[in-house]
Amino acid sequence: MAGTLGYNREHCHFILQALWQRLLTKGPVPQGRSSHGFVIIDHRAYVFGGENSPRVPIGSTVHCLDLSTQEWSVCQPQNKDSEPQPINAAAVAALGDSMYVFGGRSGITMGEGNTNQMYVFNTRTKEWRTLETSGDIPMARSYHTMLALGKALYVFGGCSEKGRLNDLHRFDVATNQWEKQPSYDVIEGRGGPGLAAVGETLYVVGGFAGREMNDVHAFDTAKKTWRSLTFNTPLPPRSVFGIGSYGNSIMVVCGEVDPSDQGHEGAGNFSNEAFVLDTSNPQDWVRVTTEGDVPEPRGWFSAAFSDEEKKLYIFGGNSETNERLNDIYSFQLNV
C-alpha cells in the first residue's frame, strides 16, 4: 500500500504516516467559503462558488492559485455574460484544460433554485460555456459529487426537491450526452458523499443520509455492476469530507462526524483525521499518523489530487466556530 512505513507487531497492522503543509499564499486570497468547487489543472488550483454566509451563494468569480509561486489571481472571463449565476453546493471536476460545473442551487432554502445545468470553464482561454445536453439528464440537485474518469464525468447522489438521491449518471464530454447507470437500492440516498476512482472502479464513500454514514459501495464502470464492501476496521462515519485516490489507495481527510442541531445554519462536529483504504486488499481503513501543519477540524470543503506532486490539496470549508475558511493545505503520504 502506498505510504506503508513499517509494521507494528503489538497491534498487528501497518503504520501510515503523512505530512500536512499549509501553503503561505499571497495575492488576492479568495473569501472564506464552504460548499464550493476546487480542482487542479496544470499545476494550478481553481476555486469556484460556495457560500460565506449560510446558504447564500458567494458569486461566480473563478480564483486561481499557482501552486509553484503560491500566488492567487482572479480569472477574468473573456465572456462574462456567459458565466453561471452564483451557485452553491455544485459539483466540479477537471478534465483536460477545463473545469466542469454541474448542478448546485442559487436559492436560500434547501432545494430552492436547484439546477441540473452543466457549465464548463476553459482555463486556457478563460471562457465559460453553458452546455446543451441530451439523454437521461439528471434531476436538479445540490450537495452531490462528480469526478472525471477517462473521457467521461460521473455524478452521484445529492439533495433534490424529492429528497436525498442515490443515482449515478455518466456524462460523455464528446457528445454532451447523459446516460443513467444501473441503480443499486442498497445505497441509501445521501448528500455530501465521497466519490473516488481506482482503475475503472468508482467508490461511493460515506455521506449524510439522515445520519453520518461510513458504508462503501463499488461500481465497475466497464461491467456496470455494483457491490458493497465490508471491513474488519470500518471508516468512522462522516460526510462532506475530502477524498482522493493514489495508486490502489483511497484517502479520506477531515469531514463532519456529527451534524449540527441547527441544520445548515450551524457548525457540526468536525474531524481533522485522515484514513486510507487499500482497495487491492480492502479489509481495514487505516488511520494515518499525521505531522506538520495539521489543519483545524473542518467539513463542507473540497479536495483535489495533484498527479504531478502526488499530493491531496484541500481549500477552505466550515470550521467548528461556524467560520468559513480560506486556507489551503497539502496532504502527502510518506512512501
Catalytically active residues, by annotation: 105, 164
Distance CA 179, CA 171 (A): 6
Q: What is the dihedral of CA 28, 33, 34, 36, to 10 degrees?
A: -40
SS3 159: strand
SS3 81: helix
Q: What is the DSSP letter of 328?
A: E
Query: Counting beta carbons within 10 angstroms of the beta carbon of residue 146, is it exposed (0 to 12), middle (13 to 18) or buried (19 or more)?
Result: buried
How many whole angstroms from its chain centre is CA 142?
13
Distance CA 106, CA 176 (A): 23
Cβ neighbours around 55 below 10 Å, total: 17
Contact partners, residue 18, CB within 8 Å, separation at least 6: 3, 274, 288, 289, 290, 291, 331, 332, 333, 334
Contact partners, residue 301, CB within 8 Å, separation at least 6: 34, 36, 38, 240, 242, 254, 314, 315, 316, 317, 318, 325
φ and ψ at 43, to 5 degrees? Answer: 60, 25
Q: What is the dihedral of CA 309, 252, 159, 229, to 10 degrees?
A: 120
Distance CA 95, CA 302 (A): 17
φ and ψ at 219, to 5 degrees? Answer: -120, 120
Contact partners, residue 87, CB within 8 Å, separation at least 6: 49, 57, 60, 101, 104, 105, 106, 113, 115
Secondary element (H or E) of residue 37: strand 37-41
**CB distance 114 to 77 below 8 Å:** no
